[in-house]
Amino acid sequence: MSSNTNMTLKLKIWRQKDAKSKGQMVDYTLENVSPDSSFLEMIDQLNEKLIAENQEPVVFDHDCREGICGMCSMMINGQPHGPEALTTTCQLHMRKFKDGDTIVIEPFRAKAFPVVKDLMVDRSAFDEIIQAGGFVSVNTGNAQDANSILVPKENADLAMDAAACIGCGACVASCKNASAMLFASAKISQLALLPQGEPEAERRVLNMVQKMDDLGFGNCTNEAECEAACPKGINISNIARMNRQYIGAAIKLDK
């Protein structure tokens, strides 16, 4: 519900020059914030104020601002993407906060997600996991038409649910072990559940899990913080599926 009453907010924002520099929290007061603006629009408003005062604006990642790209990853009052479930930072609106609130804004914290500057982190480790096996090999010269390949509805639905992952990293940021297993399992599931992904399923799960470990992500301890923080509602049943596939593939290929 819209409100015409604008707010004054106290912001505590992590500022860090680069990956090698020591960062610190910096306090700002921002007035006249519309409750109908998005969280990123609020940061834009702060940056306009800072630029007008000849100060350096706050650096943060963003792209589509439609909850699709996964770039807008921030810790807001200790929660990835903020207090609203199933919502990315860019889709979070300031009506979730009250006049006079203090909002703490930090980058995602993980060994595999080094800070680039301020609120921007390097999440290219996710790209490396995908490169390790998140694809299918197809002979396009005589490939069967995709529409003629029958897929059970249950599998199709599960694959689509897994494919909804936008790779934002909220699962990693919420996990005390900085585990990427929800992300990796979603990318594995979306292919393994479909006929097109079956030929490489065993090698895929082994390679992607190995790459995940090599990059320094932690292990899963089944606390489900990742599922609770995921803006797309990716289910931890994907992790169980990945674990079953990993064990089966390891046994088979080790023979």
> Sign of the C-alpha dihedral, residues 72, 76, 80, 83?
negative
Alpha-carbon distance of 127 to 67, in angstroms, equals 19
- Give mean pLDDT in consecutive 10-residue pieces for the chain, a chain of 255 residues: 79 96 98 98 98 98 96 97 97 98 98 97 98 87 71 95 98 98 98 93 97 97 97 98 96 78
Residue 9, CA atoms < 13 Å, CB-side half-sphere: 25
Classify residue 225 as left (phi > 0), alpha (psi -120 to 50) or beta. Answer: alpha
Q: Cα 15 to the chain's mean position, in Å?
A: 21
In terms of C-beta distances under 8 Å and separation of at least 24 residues, what long-range contacts does 163-167 make, across chains too? 163/190, 164/232, 164/233, 164/234, 165/190, 165/230, 165/232, 165/234, 166/67, 166/68, 166/69, 166/70, 166/88, 166/231, 166/232, 167/70, 167/123, 167/126
Domains and CATH numbers, the chain: 7-116 (3.10.20.30), 123-254 (1.10.1060.10)
What is the model's pLDDT at position 3?
A: 55
Residue-wise burial string across 217-239, b where 16 or more C-beta atoms lie within 10 A, e elsewhere: bbebeeeebbbebbbbebbbebb
Q: How far apart are CA 91 and CA 106, in angstroms?
A: 17
Task: Give the pLDDT score at 1.
Answer: 43
Would you say 180 and 209 are in contact if contact means Cβ atoms under 8 Å apart? no
CA-CA-CA-CA torsion sign (128, 130, 136, 139): negative
| CA 237 – CA 235 distance, rounded (Å) | 5
**pTM of the complete model:** 0.93
